[in-house]
Amino acid sequence: MLKVLMLPRDTNTRELRQALWAHRIGHRFTENEEGYTLWLADPAQLDALNELLERWRRGEPLMPSGHAPRATFNASPLLRPFALAPVTASLLAACLMVFGLMWLLGDIVVAMLTIVPVAVAGGSLSLGSLADTLSSGQVWRFFSPALLHFGWMHLTFNLLWLWYFGRQIEALRGGKLMLVLTIASAIVGNLAQYATGTVLFGGMSGVVYALLGYVWLMSRLAPSSGFFVPQMLVVFMLGWMVFTMTEMAGMVGFGNVANEAHLGGLVVGLALGWYDARRARRA
């Protein structure tokens, strides 16, 4: 990362941040006691960044031609995320809604969203199969376990990472890619987890690892794409995935983790990231 400039704490950087994303200039703002520091991901974009900064200082329009700025300034705080990143915000809302319904209605919600039909018969749990899911037309079950979260910590961390990576992908590649990544990684991750013989699992973690894989590979193979993720964050998240695969994780209270879903999602994200990076380099 290249340090570009410092800005006072009272500087309104919202318009500049939006313009940097719109121009696909990979960057990061950090904050300290003195103010904001702007960092550039790819030094090759320094000239483009300096030109944009000069226009910003002169008060000139910053958005590229044909790019309509999203109406976020007058939106209410609750609606603003839907203007910034509609697909990501919708996923967050869906997870929160399902979590609330689980708290209100209990296991009936879980039974509706597991990868295969689940029922209680004669005091015991009756589990269906993928064939039952297909034959009954309940194809949403291939995706829906991603919406299940079994605790506040599980929900909070998944949604934080989902917003962190998702809004970056929507800003630089659009909502369609975000939707493809989400659906593909959720289905592949869920099937990978089911293949281990597990039925009662859930969470957006597989999708989060797909987004991590995509953003990281794009930042490495196609830095001009504007994607950025701190290297220490990559190390932490991959290290956490490996840690939860060990027996030690269960000993300290982090057992029953859907490791195969994480790995399946990561593979999907890396595959799509590699494909898009190749296309970006050829363009």
Task: Answer yes or no: is pLDDT of 198 > 50.
Answer: yes
The two structure tokens encoding residue 16 = 């500049």
Distance CA 120, CA 60 (A): 65
Choosing from 185, 205, 219, 225, which is the catalytic residue? 205
| Span 221-270, pLDDT tens digits | 987 777 888 889 999 999 988 888 887 777 766 666 788 999 999 999 99
Report the predicted TM-score, pTM, of the whole model to 2 decimal places.
0.77
Q: Which residues contact 103 (CB under 8 A, 6 or more apart)?
A: none
Environment class of residue 282 by beta-carbon count within 10 Å: exposed (0-12), middle (13-18) or buried (19+)? exposed
Task: Answer yes or no: is pLDDT of 212 > 90.
Answer: yes
Q: Go through 56-82 and write b for each residue having 16 or more CB atoms within 10 A of its CB, e for each that does not.
A: beeeeebeeeeeeebeeeeeeeeebbb
Exposure on the CB side of residue 74, measured as CA atoms within 13 A:
3
Q: Quote the longest CA-to-CA distance of the chain.
A: 75
Domain 2-58 has CATH 3.30.70: yes
Choosing from 23, 27, 149, 262, which is the catalytic residue? 262
Q: Is 90 a catalytic residue?
A: no
Grouping H, G, I as helix, E, B as strand and the rest as coil, residue 268 is helix
| Span 109-142, pLDDT tens digits | 998 999 998 876 656 677 888 888 888 899 999 9
- 199 vs 62, residue with greater confidence: 199
Nearest to 184 by CA among 246, 75, 261: 261
| Span 26-44, pLDDT tens digits | 787 888 777 888 888 778 8
pLDDT at 194: 93
With tokens 């504007």, the residue in question is 226
pLDDT band at 71 (very low <50, low <70, confident <90, very high): very low
pLDDT at 280: 78
pLDDT at 122: 59
Beta pairing partners, 29: 38
The two structure tokens encoding residue 223 = 């830095």
The two structure tokens encoding residue 246 = 């060990």
Class for the domain spanning 80-282: mainly alpha
Report which DSSP code applies to 68. P
Q: Is 27 a catalytic residue?
A: no
Please report, for the chain, the start and end positions of each structural domain, with discontinuous segments joined by +.
2-58, 80-282
Average pLDDT over residues 66-86: 62
Domain 2-58 and domain 80-282 have a common topology: no
